[in-house]
Structure 1
Amino acid sequence: MLTLGCETRRDPAAYRWDGMRRGDTRSQPKIVFQCTLTGWGEFEKGSRRWRVGEGEAFLTVLPSRHVYYLPQESDGWTFFWFNTGHPYVVERLSVVCERHGPVLPVSLDSRLVARSLELFEKTCGQLFDDGFAEEEALLGWMVELERHALDTAHPKSRRESMIESLRAYTLENLHRSFGIEELAARHGLSRSHYSHYFQRATGLAPAACVLDIRLTEVRRRLRESSRPLKEIAAETGFADANHLCKAFRRLYQISPGAYRKLAGA
């Protein structure tokens, strides 16, 4: 499920990995995460080259066209690494690579490094009760890495401020439908500029965020009342009950009626 190690490399001639020559990974793709403790190495993909020093890590998929190595100019590179072929982890973290690139800043006092060291120690010491506990720890580490990448790309204070502003406006106008143009006008921007600005800051499309806010309110009303869906739709900005049902099922893969029954309303 997970292989790992902690190494110090000092000989450039003895340390170079090609992402297309890593054994039989085509039939079972893998994810490699490597975090620098001291020194530095380099990671190349396409025409770009990154220096991966202390406080940085790289995340990459095997197989893919990349190389990482100890360059002649480096005095050494000390790092720890994880390698896993867990299909769900590979799928999720491949998205992180695509969205955020291969190299991430990772402070050695960050939650991600703390979670990584915990996973490292438990795996090396065989301290898991069973395979389920081991998989739970791996999935927890994966989520922490996803959170770290998101927080790095979209600083939390800015992201939360923009989402909270949008949430407040949506709740104030929950009973009516409004478009992205209206949101953009509040900021003095065009529709496209606002959409790009919001997505860069939050990682979310504004329309999807508005829909999520509306449906969160729908769920609350379904749990707390037995009122007809037609009334709830009118209160939350949907054209009618049918429009609400389609949006609800598309996002949650369950109908509003079935959700209400599960919630015990």
Structure 2
Amino acid sequence: MPDIQHGAVAFRFKEEPLNQLAQLWSVGWEEQTSSIYSWSGTERKDLGKVIFQVTLSGFGEIDIDGKVHRIQPGHAFIVKSPSQYRYYLPEASEKWEFMYVTIYGKEADRCFEHIQSNTNQVIRFHPESVPVKLVKQIYDEANSKNITSAYKGSSLAYQFIMELYEYVSALDKEMDEWPESIVSAVLFARQSYQNPIGPDEMADASGLSRYHFTRIFKKNTGMTPIQYLTRIRISKAIELLEHTKYTTEEIASLVGYTNANYLNKVCRKVTGKSPGELRRKKSGWQWDRPELLDR
């Protein structure tokens, strides 16, 4: 698989009114392979913080008040320090790859208390869910050095809190449960679309053979792996065209295409418009023909 750039970004803003409401503390993307990895909720120094951590591949475990939960791909835990929890890489796991965001403030506390009272602190998140996508967005914004003020940080923290409320409120409704293998592949594609990946790498992430993976993926998502990956890439390209000043060549590189010519070819086939036309018209393209995404 292609190399992935892991890392972490910490935020330290001085605007107290915003920090008291809702604020970012840190965001990160890590892969742990050593059993010495362990965090205790009674020993941490970053007190008063709410941690949301979602597994992308491998698995870890968390002990909350004496009950051990396995955190597999697509599962996340939500905890607050100080409290009785410990999360770690168990001996049975070769690796634990995850993304996390740490927030604080009155609204973060209120959201955590709501989740703790109304559902479990370990929740399965659909890979298409907004909270999972938003953690990746915050990470990308931080890495691009776009979160430079307390106002932007507070806005993202508050948005994340509201998305958590909405997702948790719908947990009691019927939701399609994708197999763990498909969740792993989708999370891999969503985090790595900017790299030169394709169906083979997605199959590797799922742990299934290419043939079996393709069949199961289509059954669950309604699309082939390449159609799904193309949707991710073109959606991101349209977002960048509409909201940034990056050149088409730069956008092609950012979404995993070799050059602007190839991005232009795929855009025209999928949307009927060139990148330049999409940028001018800000179409807000909606996907309704997956057969066009075979690129």
The TM-score normalised by the length of structure 1 is 0.54
Q: Is the 8 A contact 1:33 1:59 kept in 2?
A: yes
1:40 CA drift (Å): 0.3
Q: Give a deviation string over 1:127-179, Cα, whole Å, max 9, x none.
A: 146322321121011111111112123448xxxxxxxxxxxxxxxxxxxxxxx
Partner of residue 92, structure 2 = 73
Using a 3 Å threshold, how does the CA distance of structure 1 residues 129 and 68 change in structure 2: closer, same or farther? closer
- 8 Å CA contact 1:93–1:142 kept in 2: the answer is no
1:119/1:141 contact within 8 Å kept: no
Alignment deviations for residues 188-236 of structure 1 (CA, whole Å, 9 cap, x no partner): xxxxxxxxxxxxxxxxxxxxxxxxxxxxxxxxxxxxxxxxxxxxxxxxx
The 1-side partners of 2:75 and 2:154 are apart by: 25
SS in 2 for 1:108: coil
- Report the more deviating stretch, 57-66 or 107-116: 107-116
Counterpart of 1:5, as a letter, is G
Instruction: Tell me: higher relative CO, structure 1 or 2? Use CA pairs within 8 A at least 6 residues apart.
Output: 2
- Structure 2 matches for 1:1-265, cutoff 5 A? 1-12=24-35, 14-23=36-45, 25=47, 29-128=48-147, 130-155=149-174
Q: Structure 2 CA distance, aligned partners of 1:102 and 1:83?
A: 15
SS, match of residue 145 in structure 2: coil
Q: Distance in 2 between matches of 1:154 and 1:60?
A: 24
Structure 1 unaligned spans of 5+: 157-265
Q: Following the alignment from structure 1 to structure 2, what is the Cα–Cα distance between the partners of residues 94 and 154?
A: 21
Give the counterpart letter for 2:34 in structure 1: D
SS, match of residue 80 in structure 1 = strand
- Shift of residue 118, structure 1, vs aligned partner: 1.4
* Structure richer in helix, relative to its length: 1
* Cα distance in 2 between the residues matched to 1:70 and 1:115: 25
Structure-1 separation of matches of 2:67 and 2:46: 26
CA RMSD of aligned residues (A): 2.0
Shift of 1:24: 5.3
Q: Secondary structure at the match of 1:6?
A: strand
Instruction: Please give the secondary structure, in 2, of the residue aligned with 1:101.
Output: coil
C-alpha distance in 2 between matches for 1:95 and 1:86: 14
Q: 1:128 to 1:67 in 2, by over 3 A?
A: closer
Correspondence for 1:224: none
For residue 153 of structure 1, give the secondary structure of its aligned residue in structure 2.
Answer: coil
SS at match of 1:152: coil
Residues 99 and 136, structure 2, Cα contact 8 Å, conserved in 1? no
CA displacement 1:57-112 (0-9 Å, x = unmatched): 00011110011111101111000111122232122223212321210101222222
Say if 1:24 and 1:135 are closer, same or farther in 2 by CA, change over 3 A: closer
Aligned to 2:222: none
Q: Which sits farther off after the overlay, 53-62 or 107-116? A: 107-116
Structure of higher CA gyration radius: 1
Where 2:171 maps in the other structure, the secondary structure is: helix
Gaps of 5+ in 2: 1-23, 176-295
Change in CA separation of 1:42 and 1:135 when aligned onto 2, cut-off 3 Å: same
Q: Which runs of 4+ in 1 moved over 3 A?
A: 153-156
Question: Aligned residues: percent identity?
Answer: 22
Task: Return the TM-score normalized by structure 2.
Answer: 0.49
Letter of the 1:99 partner, please give it: N
Change (3 A) 1:125 1:57: same
